[in-house]
Structure 1
């Protein structure tokens, strides 16, 4: 996961706000399912990260409550 985050941040360059950076990390995390089918084995990879984001940035990620 760290390699994917690093690649996304390097490709983007800079972020105007912290929210923009968080959105990119969120989208990269959601995009780790290669087939887009939501298979359980892939969900195990990104679910802990989404939970950590939801706890840390609860006020900034209202959509996290619906996951």
Structure 2
């Protein structure tokens, strides 16, 4: 764990330590994720880009398979 934490600190990356029982850790994690979602309006755009990319590769792979079967 220390190696991961030190790397996060070295590169000044934000992180949240989850301490306590299972219920407390879940509450802290959900609050941290909600905070990120509130401040990052572009997260949905990023998801849309991934879906478009996935559909592109799906179409490409389907076309390639058809060429090999001929």
TM-score (norm 2): 0.34
Larger helix percent: 2
Of structures 1 and 2, the one with the larger relative CO (CA 8 A, separation 6+) is 1
TM-score (norm 1): 0.35
Larger radius of gyration: 2
